[in-house]
Structure 1
Amino acid sequence: MPQWTKKLAEKKTKRPASWLRGAAVVSVAVSLALTLTGCGNDMTAPSSARNAATTTQVARLGTVDCREVKCIALTFDAGPSEHSAQLLDILREKQVPATFFLLGKRHIEKYPELVRRMAAEGHEVASHTWDHKILTEISEDQIRDELKRPNDAIERLIGRRPTLMRPPQGRTNETVQRISREEGLAEVLWSVTAKDYTTTDSALIKKRVLDQAGRDGIILLHDLYDGTVPAVPGIIDALKERGYVFVTVPQLLAPGKAEPGKVYRP
């Protein structure tokens, strides 16, 4: 393990860490490195997905057209959490949709009512695997289990199966993509990270997001960290002032549609 990653993994927080808090520190740190350096796989930008849309898909386009307006997507990983209800209240007040990449074990299991609320209030409900295993380091059967179990749980709760997945650490390869395609899932990475696993300073989280934000951006946040949700209202207000329109990931790709087995990143 690189020394800088090890130091982040050993960093202590003010309150006792759960299994995910410790894992996510390493996860996001390594993910950032992969995002900056690339992971050697073909990726599709939102604009490319839109340009590839068929005439039929264009005819079905909703009220937000990201070909014409400056769109950006808020996404939240590793929930639901104890902070998700407050986050949903903020998003409802601000009239902003988001995409939630949910964990199964200890999250979907623990907060089923929040999963239902996310869907009912118009947010995109997606998967972040069942137990946050690194998909490139486990067997094909284990990959299928990590992808299938949260999809089954989400479908039971909201009546529809997720079509999007975010791999832990952003780690993917041809095997993960093939199995994702078999499970009907497209992978979604990101272009903006606040590194909210390193700080409880909401002002700093906001600054990091605003410094990186751009058209067609996909913002990665985690509502389980104490400083993140308080930063969200300021992030939304500042980006709206800059002329951004908030959309879900499917809306960002529209009139195109996420294709199973593909990896999407701005």
Structure 2
Amino acid sequence: MSQDYYQVREEIEDVSSFISSNDYDFPFLKEESPDFLIIHDSKLVGIEHQRLFQPPDSDGVLIQNQESLKDQIYLKAKEFYDRLDGPNMLAFVDIKDVYGKSIDKEQYKLSSKDVDEIAEQVAHIVYQKNDLSKKKIVLNGTSLKNIDDRVDGISIYNNELYQRSYFDRAKGGLIPTIENSYLQKQISKKESKIEAYYEKCEEVWLLLVVNALTFERAFDLSDSNDFLMENYESSFDSIFIFTADTRSTYKLK
């Protein structure tokens, strides 16, 4: 199915969770401009949905781009490994992080043309180095000298109960706090269509959604909740941050 289908399904799940966790009135209607309509306090309210992603670092590197490419590498590595007909196992692959790092990003950042090559290298070395007599094999340093140097390490786990093989990320990264200036920028980007929204409804809300289960959409919201103290400039009647993983709501306006 298309990416648009999954995005719409995610939007519906987010708004449904937001409404139910805050005891707002069902039902809601999926729309366009704004994204949803609900009845609240006898008013027709529009809800504009916006996913929040970690912003680019100082060199313009987008973490969602890098993390998406890593995910593609893991999926492709599994495809290559399955073609080799290797035993079922779990491989955690540590690919070098460039986001927010003081390294040569032109040398180390991933691009789409890297995906197949790195994935095939990872699949072959896992196939070659795995030893079913061991529960865990760690590959790093010289044991990885013949593959792309953006692969920092691979940990292979064997268990006879595994029904299939998996390739996944070895670790996440530093979760940033959410900056007031970043929030204001995201709010301002949604202002351009607000007059058209009011042609359909009496109030318009902006729902900003984060999700700690997806690294590039994770933010640390516990930093004394400084982001709640800002007086954000906006024509939206209400603005909320909603955490899709914990179903918590923070009202900004």
Q: TM exceeds 0.5?
A: no
Classify the TM-score, shorter chain. under 0.3
Greater share of strand: 2
TM-score (normalizing by structure 2): 0.27
Greater share of helix: 1
TM-score (normalizing by structure 1): 0.26
Higher radius of gyration, 1 or 2: 2
- Between 1 and 2, higher relative CO (CA 8 Å, sep ≥ 6) is seen in 1
